[in-house]
Amino acid sequence: MTTKRQFFKALYGVIASAALFAALPAQADGWKPAGPLTIEIGFGAGGSTDVIGRLVANTMKEQTGWNVIAENKPGGGGMAMFTAIANKPADDSTVGLGVNMPVMINLVTRPDEVKFTLDDFAYLGTAAGAQLALVARADAPFDDLAGLIEYAKANGGLAIGSDAQPQVLTMQKVAEQAGTEFQFLSTKSSAEILKLLLGGQALAGFATGTHVEYLESGDLKMIASANRTRHSYAPDTATLIEQGYDVYVDPWFYFAMSAGSSAEAQAAIAAALAAALETDEVKAAVHNALNTEVVNLGPEATKKMLVDGIDNVKVLFGK
């Protein structure tokens, strides 16, 4: 049986040939990019976002004949990438793949410092909603959030791996309510967080799918669901809310480009992304990376998800 670890490695070596035979997506008025179309990935190599972005890029390339390139642009949970896209001249050639929570939280908590607004982007669609888990080494001396907090209090803190600001803010709220402290080890991807956990540099950390094989192997254990609901693969593990802390994050992986992009480019790229997300190869990648299914909200609903999410974040952080 192929493990998820083997699956992730295989994605970088070969893309399934079946994508070659998928139907070509509809293109607005025959639009095509004048040069390479770059999908910028707001996180480092090896994590869930990277895996999805690279397979989508390859599938689009094979379906459309366009020269589609995937590039990692890590920093600030995708904030560095979206800031660059919003503040350079629109050229119809750059699409960003990021996660909603870092964007929404930054816009709520430090709006004067963020160099863009939601109106600076044209929204193209979503790949999926992620199930975010707080996990720990299997030999960690705690099995739930209460035990983690007790350990942190007894040891002057606890190191937690994170790759996005919402994870840090969520656990800071937990720490404030519990009267303890956490130290945060910032990484560029969930793959790096797993290395910290397995290498012993951190006892706990966040992950969105890449951790599941380690739960199955017994190397890691799940402490809590950081979403509003329990995870499909771990129905017995309670949420942060159920464990007494009224905080949560519901990450969505979404695609956007500069609002100054031409309407033809927006329509054609959104259609190409939608077609790629419908392939069995991408569906399998999303399932293996995130343990969830592809859900493409489409352009209008993707923007609504972000607009509505801002209001939820304001409530979450008392703004």
Q: What is the pLDDT of residue 115?
A: 97
Q: What is the pLDDT of residue 3?
A: 47
Q: What is the pLDDT of residue 47?
A: 85
In the predicted structure, residue 311 carries a pLDDT above the cut 60: yes
C-alpha distance from residue 253 to each of 85, 239, 243, 250, 289 (Å): 17, 21, 26, 10, 12
Q: What is the pLDDT of residue 118?
A: 97
Asked whether residue 235 is domain-assigned, the answer is no
Check whether residue 77 and residue 59 sit in a common domain. Answer: yes
Asked whether residue 234 is domain-assigned, the answer is no
31 contacts: CB under 8 Å, gap ≥ 6: 262, 264, 265, 267, 268
Q: Which residues pair with 162 in a beta bridge?
A: 186
Q: What is the pLDDT of residues 169-218, one digit of tens each?
A: 899 999 999 999 999 999 988 889 999 999 999 999 999 888 999 999 99
Tell me which H or E stretch contains 96.
Answer: strand 94-99
Query: What letter represents residue 285's amino acid?
Result: A
- Expressed as residue numbers, the domain containing 39 is 4-130+251-316
Check whether residue 286 and residue 263 sit in a common domain. Answer: yes
Check whether residue 120 and residue 88 sit in a common domain. Answer: yes
* Mean pLDDT, the chain, integer: 89
Check whether residue 77 and residue 173 sit in a common domain. Answer: no
Q: Tell me, what DSSP letter sits at residue 254?
A: E
Number of C-beta neighbours around residue 106 at 10 A: 23
Asked whether residue 232 is domain-assigned, the answer is no
Percent of residues, the chain, with pLDDT higher than 70: 90
Place of tokens 């017994």: 218
Check whether residue 105 and residue 170 sit in a common domain. Answer: no
Rounded Cα distance, 41 and 281, in Å: 19
Q: State how many domains the chain has.
A: 2
Asked whether residue 126 is domain-assigned, the answer is yes
Q: What is the pLDDT of residue 290?
A: 81
Q: Tell me, what DSSP letter sits at residue 245?
A: -
In the predicted structure, residue 100 carries a pLDDT above the cut 80: yes
Boundary-marking domain end, from 209, 225, 241: 225
Rounded Cα distance, 311 and 297, in Å: 19
* Model confidence pTM above 0.75: no
Asked whether residue 237 is domain-assigned, the answer is no
Rounded Cα distance, 27 and 268, in Å: 5
Q: Which of 13-27, 96-110, 150-164 has the lowest mean pLDDT?
A: 13-27
Check whether residue 18 and residue 84 sit in a common domain. Answer: yes
Rounded Cα distance, 53 and 126, in Å: 11
- Residue 18 pLDDT level (bands cut at 50, 70, 90): very low
C-alpha distance from residue 56 to each of 20, 139, 284 (Å): 13, 37, 12
Within 159-297, residue ranges assigned H as helices are 165-178, 190-199, 212-217, 263-277, 280-290
In the predicted structure, residue 253 carries a pLDDT above the cut 70: yes
Check whether residue 8 and residue 124 sit in a common domain. Answer: yes
Q: What is the pLDDT of residue 312?
A: 74
Boundary-marking domain end, from 225, 241, 265: 225
- CATH code where residue 185 lies: 3.40.190.10
In the predicted structure, residue 252 carries a pLDDT above the cut 90: yes
Check whether residue 81 and residue 213 sit in a common domain. Answer: no
Check whether residue 8 and residue 75 sit in a common domain. Answer: yes
The two structure tokens encoding residue 292: 């969830």
Q: What is the pLDDT of residue 50?
A: 93
Rounded Cα distance, 306 and 310, in Å: 6
The two structure tokens encoding residue 281: 């190869």
Tell me which H or E stretch contains 85.
Answer: helix 79-87
CA gyration radius, the chain: 19
Asked whether residue 236 is domain-assigned, the answer is no
**Contact in structure between 233 and 212 (CB atoms under 8 Å):** yes
Check whether residue 139 and residue 125 sit in a common domain. Answer: no
Check whether residue 198 and residue 50 sit in a common domain. Answer: no
Q: What is the pLDDT of residue 135?
A: 98
Check whether residue 261 and residue 119 sit in a common domain. Answer: yes
Boundary-marking domain end, from 190, 225, 260: 225
Q: What is the pLDDT of residue 19?
A: 35
Q: What is the pLDDT of residues 137-164, one digit of tens each?
A: 999 999 999 999 999 999 999 999 998 8
Asked whether residue 31 is domain-assigned, the answer is yes
Q: What is the pLDDT of residues 276-298, one digit of tens each?
A: 999 999 999 998 888 789 999 99
- Residue 29 pLDDT level (bands cut at 50, 70, 90): low
**Contact in structure between 61 and 222 (CB atoms under 8 Å):** no
- Residue 22 pLDDT level (bands cut at 50, 70, 90): very low
In the predicted structure, residue 16 carries a pLDDT above the cut 60: no
Asked whether residue 233 is domain-assigned, the answer is no
- CATH code where residue 56 lies: 3.40.190.150
